[in-house]
Chains A and B, each alone.
Chain A
Amino acid sequence: MFPITGTTSLVLAVVFGFAFGWLLHRGRVADYNAIVRQFLYKDFTVLKVMLTAIVVGGIGVFLLVQMGYAKFHIKPADLLAITLGAGLFGIGMALYGFCPGTAVAAIGAGSVHALVGASGMIVGGILYALTFDWVSHAILPVWAMGKVQLPQVLGVGALAIFVALGLSVLMFFWVLERRSARSG
């Protein structure tokens, strides 16, 4: 039965995308103010959403893979490209006030400056396509570690990592909520 392909999957793409945009907006991360204030450590909404998604999603997807219902899709750890790319991404995101997903949801919710920034993203996409031939032979092969996951890198089981990650995240949230309760 699964995975579904063909035309049905195209309908599902809109449905799942809709759910994603809805959740980003309801989680208040399709909001410039929340994202910038996260980078300034004045509002932790972004980390609350992301870390909860990673822990809840990660444990579920891990179990589904174990039971044979799902497959991992690991992006290669081309570490020079990822380090440079993520470095630029953080700079751009702080300036734009959105990441690509939250920007698109924010445009739907009426943000004009998110739309202006999205035209910048289209220019960025064009620049990447124009420089791709150079990038693909000069940058991508440097420190290319392959499609590795943390259990292989650390030599620790995935479940142990999820337990440690889950407990750390819970403790982090507990500290955040206590602090915000104190400050009223």
Chain B
Amino acid sequence: MEIISPGAVHASAPATRINWGPYLAGAGIGVLSWIVFVVVNTPIGITTAISQVSGGVASLFVGADVVAATTYWAKHAFVLDYETLFLAGTLLGGLGSALAAGTWRLETVPQVWAERFGPSPARRYVAAFIGGIIAMYGARLANGCTSGNGISGGLQLALSGWVFLAVMFTTGTITAFIIFRPKMP
């Protein structure tokens, strides 16, 4: 039996071949938006559910009474509602897709990070943790993330969505260019 490595397949593919994966996935998210707008009357969104989980985690430390008395969590309690179950579904979707594709694996340090900052997981974890804090605070302040503001807001031509996209892309680019600037000799 002839053994073909993935690299060999890639090399034999014509140079003009378009990878339709991102376009198909994007169109799929667009069609999913049609469905959720009609069927459940709720646009795709993620961060509201994460702030609900935050309330759940906070109640472990300060007690449910304190959390329930907080203005924000009083409006967004940690319960199994549409938002939190959609979040759980998204996690399962990533799991299911990776298992079905046979690509599920524990990733501690991604390639692009390792090329610049080396193989230390601790370093990557610290950056991811701090980045997560900043991204989530920003997403709450902006009342939505790339899903709720960017895609769902963008596709409804909401001013909020397009301002969000323009600003986040600008600061994201500046930050990435600073983080990944060439090393000093």
Contact = CB atoms under 8 A, between A and B. Distances in A.
Interface in B91-139: 91-98, 101, 103-113, 121, 124-125, 127-139
A110 interface: yes
B53 A125 contact: yes
Interface in B33-85: 33-44, 46-47, 50-51, 53-55, 57-58, 70-73, 80-83, 85
Given A12-B40, A40-B176, A108 B27 contact: no
Contacts of B44: 16, 20
A119 B158 contact: no
* Residue picked from A17, A51, A105, most chain B C-beta under 10 Å: A17
Interface string A90-129: 1111111111111111111111111011111111111111
Given A13-B86, A90-B175, A105-B94, A61 B108 contact: no
Interface string B147-168: 1111111111111111111111
B131 A120 contact: yes
* Residue picked from B46, B98, B128, most chain A C-beta under 10 Å: B128
Given A16-B86, A39-B172, A60-B34, A108 B98 contact: yes
B128 to A, nearest CB: 3
A48 B27 CA distance: 10
Category for how many chain B residues contact A:
35 or more
Contacts of B151: 50, 53-54, 57
A50 B44 CA distance: 13
A53 B27 contact: yes
Contacts of B31: 56-57, 60
B36 to A, nearest CB: 6
A117 B139 CA distance: 14
A51 B90 contact: no
Contacts of B163: 77, 79, 82-83, 86
Contact of B86 (A20, A133, A136): A20
A39 B155 contact: no
Contacts of A69: 38
B37 A64 contact: yes
A176 to B, nearest CB: 10
Given A26-B21, A75-B158, A100-B147, A121 B82 contact: no
A87 B177 CA distance: 15
Contacts of B16: 181
B137 A27 contact: no
Contact of A99 (B23, B145, B167, B174): B145
* Residue picked from A52, A101, A127, A145, most chain B C-beta under 10 Å: A101
A148 B134 CA distance: 27
Contacts of A26: 21, 24-25, 28, 97, 101
Interchain residue pairs A-B with the least CB separation, the first 3: A17-B89, A21-B93, A120-B132
9 contacts: A13-B83, A16-B40, A27-B21, A39-B173, A73-B42, A100-B50, A101-B147, A122-B57, A158-B157
